[in-house]
Amino acid sequence: IWSPVVAGLTGLAVVLLMLNIGLGIYRNQLTLEDVEDIRSELNDMEASYKAAFESTNNYKKQLDSKLKDSTKTKWELEHQTKRNNDYQKNMDKITKNIALLKYQLPKTGTISHLSLFPITTEQACRLCLPDWVWFNSMCYFFPFETMGYKSWSQARHFCQLYGGDLAVINSTVKQTGGSISANHFWAFGVCLMTYHISLLQICRSYWMDGNPTGVKDDVCVAVYARENFFKAWGDTNCNAQNKKWICEKAEDKWG
């Protein structure tokens, strides 16, 4: 009885085994192909991800750079705007001062010190020496009106005898006033003494085109009357010719 059953079961087992073996082989073949496909797709996805990541980083770097450039541009614009506003304010003041000086200059061409530089009651306590002009907390003297012209050394020595020195023209107000009051005059060349180094940048505003010439021996500063008073300085030999001069000293306290 058991023999046919056993034989049938044995045959069925063999068939199932063969089917399993066949399906296993077939399944193994599909899995290998699938693995290769999946691996290829994963590699493609990884490459795409890396490319997208690098592109995002590059875009972020470009954006950061543009933001920095934009900030620098904004700062520069604010700085230039402020400078332009300051220049405009200074130019307005200079224009008013020039108009006032022209209005107050006597028709005879001589300098009326007290009318040219009026002082208040409070300022009267800080009067300068006789014949000296008080202006902007300093005293000025125009000796060339009665004493003629001198060389730079002679003019400076004269000013030092009175406790002063040749006027230092280091502002647009002084530059404007000096050009109106005395054309072609000596000035104390603080800037010229150091023009061969970087300090020239501090005071190059008033040099005429082509000046300073580069000569360093016995060279002094002369101020010339020019419509553009920002280009009124010229370097010249200290003893080449005599010129007008202006003395400058600190104001005196008279109690």
Q: 205-216, pLDDT tens digit by residue?
A: 567 877 777 666
Average the pLDDT over each of 131-135, 197-201, 249-253 and give the range with the smallest value: 197-201
pLDDT of residue 105: 53
Distances (CA, A) of 164 to 129, 145, 186, 218: 11, 18, 14, 21
Higher-scoring residue by pLDDT: 51, 199? 51
What residue ranges in 79-157 does DSSP mark as E strands? 133-135, 138-141
Query: Over the stretch 29-65, which tens digit does the pLDDT of each residue have?
Result: 545 565 566 567 666 766 776 777 777 778 788 878 8
Amino acid identity, residue 7? A
pLDDT of residue 116: 43
The span from the CA of 146 to the CA of 78, in Å, is: 51
Backbone angles phi, psi at 244, to 5 degrees: -70, 165
- Please tell me the chain's helix, strand, coil percentages from 3-state DSSP, rounded to the nearest 5: 60, 10, 30
Other Cβ atoms within 10 Å of 184 Cβ, number? 14
The span from the CA of 119 to the CA of 122, in Å, is: 8
The span from the CA of 177 to the CA of 226, in Å, is: 12
Query: Over the stretch 136-184, which tens digit does the pLDDT of each residue have?
Result: 778 888 877 678 888 888 888 888 998 898 887 655 444 444 433 444 5
Query: Over the stretch 101-144, which tens digit does the pLDDT of each residue have?
Result: 665 554 444 444 434 445 554 553 456 878 888 887 788 888 77
Closest CA to 187 of 148, 219, 211: 219
Whole-number mean pLDDT of the chain?
Answer: 66
Answer yes or no: is pLDDT of 82 > 70: yes
- Report CA Rg, the chain: 46
Answer yes or no: is pLDDT of 201 > 50: no
Q: Specify the 3-state DSSP secondary structure of 163.
A: coil
Which two structure tokens, joined as six digits, stand for 3? Answer: 């023999």
Q: Give the model's confidence band at 77: pLDDT under 50 very low, under 70 low, under 90 confident, else very high.
A: confident
Give helix then strand counts, H and E, for the chain.
Answer: 7, 8
End-to-end CA, the chain = 150
The span from the CA of 29 to the CA of 23, in Å, is: 10
The span from the CA of 120 to the CA of 130, in Å, is: 17
What single-letter DSSP state applies at residue 194?
T
Higher-scoring residue by pLDDT: 255, 130? 130
Amino acid identity, residue 17? L
